[in-house]
């Protein structure tokens, strides 16, 4: 390699960044892929010869050298609040009137934007160089994901401007385009891994991986920006100008991302409720064709001075509202209604549908929940039905067009015999469920129990997905939990698609699963009525499998959160000789479990308290809220009673709030809840 100077190296860095921007952000490449690759190879050769020249913003430095040890928490310089929600034109009219009253004017301009269904992010640049990325978290404190965001090709590590601000903090959304989501799920299906429910979950899961190299493999993870949280120079005067300003710096905005895909609308100036509705209607029509998932539009005061002047309510900025779309729907035919048998024997009717596109994915099945639901909605084979994704996640049948019903159909009833083992089914007197009582002899129940044991909810045995377990059961290699730990290379070589590498990977995962936690083992056993929270409480209280196995119903009732139903189920399971022998076999095969010691702040108001969550929290999902209170040493319950200490209330709380008021249970609304945790 001929001698180069530092100035030539920096010029080459700038050239590569220039072509990066043209390709990934503007979709206007000036050179071929081969020519681009040659530039990168030259850059890498120079950096190998002169490692002292390499900066963190070199185009070759998107990947960190080592996996992260965890994500440190960072306090936001400006709180990332959620938006007030509107679901109708009347609610938008109320918002508009409120703005007119607060601003004392009838003439208001709004900026309309797409509401991405992704992961909110705050990104900081100093002197034009990317320095930090933090997730929204609870709005006040988020996780530092700087190294992971660095791997996104749509994120410039240097701003493209001759007049960059000393400090710029921008707000945006990390998301996974629909095509990339479908591809990722296809690859996961081929590897027998659980499928992502929606692009948002996939984006969040990808961004929180501890190894940036793994994040980089999900190359289509993208980011767009639409707001400014901090700027060391004069701010743009309007929200509409913010988009133009961000684009001028080389940052990806919704408008620049959409350019290659066609004439979609992404941003608009609006002056009335009718303008807002016209804009929302157009976006709703284009929604299914967009390359990414959205769940509504954001309407924000265009005048940023007025927006800042109005401030916040503590939960939301006053000058903006999110107009949420209803769940996407599609019509299709029910080819058949089949019955699935779960691991606890519950029979669940499932509609097998004529495949149809809905919310960016192809839907061919939808759960009908239970036979009471089927009867109530009168859903039959060959019916023409409307399906939607509940929360844009789980497909469900919401309506039947009976005018299209032919005479060649029949009402569906619960079967008299289990479709798997032909045992007469029974109606659970305490539930809507019909069950197969053949707990130990029903092939489908056995298979589902084994799948659960190895699943993420159980011992999390990688490479042992549903299809692999089905093969192992069909060939007679696995009949009970302990058989998993008796598998060897000779057995696995008989499975379809299993070669040396697959065999080695699965055996290594099985060996790794031998060392687990007590709570995980309890959960993996699939004892009826025992979920994750209950398993955690049992592990924390009993400390050992031996003690748990010896406890009576009365002793179990002393464990916080355990009632009669759970206590009797546990005693029934632990007193069964076959179950006891199976647990002994697991121990003999080297399965060991430890009790994870958790040290709580005993002075925290949630410590050792029982908490009920109700309504929708704007700052976090139900799962995260549950985890946050449990991390403070609290227990969560599903129903309000005198034994409950706190009821945490979000939007649309329902009857639990009224019951808490009647019983005098302490009620905590979201802003106070965020302060307490």
- SS in 3 state form for 21-73? HHHHHCCCCCCCHHHHHHHHHHHHHHHHHCHHHCCCCCCCCCCCCCCCCCCCE
Query: Of how many residues is the chain composed?
Result: 677
115 is catalytic: yes
Q: Which of 2, 28, 101, 115 is catalytic?
A: 115
Residue 394 CA to residue 379 CA, distance in Å, equals 18
- Token pair listed for 533: 């929270």
- Token pair listed for 36: 């681009």
**How many CB atoms are located within 10 Å of the residue 449 CB?**
21
**How many CB atoms are located within 10 Å of the residue 472 CB?**
23
| Three-state DSSP class for residue 356 | strand
* Nearby residues of 419 by Cβ (< 8 Å), 6 or more positions away: 338, 339, 341, 347, 444
* Among 609, 605, 613, 623, residue whose Cα is nearest residue 649: 613
Residue 344 CA to residue 439 CA, distance in Å, equals 7
Residue 251 CA to residue 168 CA, distance in Å, equals 12
| Three-state DSSP class for residue 353 | strand
637 alpha carbon, distance to own chain's centre: 23
- Token pair listed for 122: 């705050």
CA distance readout (Å), 458 to 264, 289, 523, 526: 45, 38, 6, 8
| Three-state DSSP class for residue 350 | strand
CA distance readout (Å), 156 to 144, 159, 216, 409: 18, 6, 15, 59
Under a CB-based contact definition with an 8 Å cutoff, are residues 673 and 666 in contact?
Answer: no
Residues annotated as catalytic (active site), given as ranges: 115
């Amino acid at each position: 390699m001929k001698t180069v100077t530092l100035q030539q190296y920096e010029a080459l860095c700038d050239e590569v960044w220039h072509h990066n921007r043209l390709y990934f952000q503007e979709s206007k490449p000036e050179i071929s892929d081969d020519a681009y690759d040659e530039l990168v190879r030259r850059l890498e050769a120079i950096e190998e010869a002169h490692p002292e020249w390499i900066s963190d913003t070199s185009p070759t430095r998107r990947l960190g050298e080592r996996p992260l040890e965890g994500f440190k928490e960072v306090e936001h310089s400006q709180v990332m609040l959620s938006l007030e929600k509107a679901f109708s034109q009347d609610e938008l009219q109320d918002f508009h009137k409120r703005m007119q009253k607060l601003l004392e004017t009838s003439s208001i301009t709004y900026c309309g934007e797409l509401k991405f269904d992704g992961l909110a992010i705050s990104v900081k640049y100093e002197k034009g160089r990317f320095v930090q990325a933090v997730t929204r978290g609870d709005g006040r404190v988020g996780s530092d994901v700087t190294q992971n965001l660095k791997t996104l090709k749509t994120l410039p590590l240097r701003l493209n401007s001759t007049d960059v601000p000393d400090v710029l903090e921008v707000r945006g959304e990390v998301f996974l385009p629909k095509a990339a989501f479908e591809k990722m799920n296809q690859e996961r299906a081929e590897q027998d891994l659980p499928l992502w429910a929606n692009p948002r979950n996939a984006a969040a899961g990808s961004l929180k991986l501890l190894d940036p190299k793994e994040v980089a493999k999900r190359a289509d993870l993208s980011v767009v920006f639409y707001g400014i949280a901090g700027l060391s120079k004069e701010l743009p005067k309007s929200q509409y100008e913010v988009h133009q300003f961000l684009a001028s710096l080389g940052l990806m905005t919704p408008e620049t991302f959409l350019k290659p895909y066609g004439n979609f609308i992404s941003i608009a100036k609006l002056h009335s409720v009718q303008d807002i509705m016209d804009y929302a209607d157009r976006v709703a029509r284009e929604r299914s064709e967009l390359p990414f998932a959205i769940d509504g539009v954001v309407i924000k005061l265009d005048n940023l001075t007025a927006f800042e002047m109005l401030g916040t309510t503590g939960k939301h900025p006053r000058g903006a509202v999110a107009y949420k779309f209803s769940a996407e729907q599609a019509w299709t035919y029910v080819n058949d209604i089949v019955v699935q048998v779960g691991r606890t024997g519950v029979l669940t009717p499932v509609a097998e549908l004529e495949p149809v596109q809905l919310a960016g994915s192809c839907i061919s099945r939808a759960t009908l929940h239970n036979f009471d639901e089927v009867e109530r909605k009168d859903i039959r084979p060959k019916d023409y039905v409307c399906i939607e994704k509940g929360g844009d996640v789980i497909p469900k049948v919401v309506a039947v067009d009976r005018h299209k019903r032919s005479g060649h159909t029949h009402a569906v009833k619960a079967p008299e015999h289990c479709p798997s083992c032909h045992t007469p089914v029974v109606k659970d007197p305490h539930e809507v469920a019909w069950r197969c009582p053949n707990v130990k002899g029903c092939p489908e129940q056995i298979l589902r129990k084994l799948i659960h044991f190895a699943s993420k909810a159980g011992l999390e045995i990688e490479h042992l997905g549903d299809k692999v377990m089905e093969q192992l059961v069909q060939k007679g290699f696995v009949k009970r939990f302990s058989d998993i730990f008796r598998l060897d290379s000779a057995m696995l070589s008989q499975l379809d698609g299993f070669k040396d590498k697959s065999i080695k990977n699965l055996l290594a995962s099985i060996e790794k699963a031998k060392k687990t936690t007590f709570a995980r083992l309890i959960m993996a056993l699939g004892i009826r009525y025992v979920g994750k929270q209950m398993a955690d409480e049992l592990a924390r209280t009993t400390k050992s499998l031996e003690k748990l196995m010896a406890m009576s119903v009365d002793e179990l009732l002393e464990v916080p959160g355990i009632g009669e139903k759970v206590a009797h189920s546990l005693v029934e399971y632990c007193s069964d000789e076959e179950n006891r022998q199976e647990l002994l076999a697991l121990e003999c095969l080297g399965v060991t479990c430890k009790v994870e010691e958790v040290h709580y702040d005993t002075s925290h108001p949630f410590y050792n308290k029982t908490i009920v969550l109700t309504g929708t929290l704007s700052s976090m999902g139900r799962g995260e809220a549950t985890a946050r209170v449990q991390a403070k040493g609290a227990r969560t319950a599903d129903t309000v009673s005198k034994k409950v200490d706190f009821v945490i209330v979000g939007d649309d709380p329902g009857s639990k709030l009224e019951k808490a008021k009647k019983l005098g249970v302490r009620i905590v609304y979201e802003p106070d809840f965020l302060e307490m945790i």
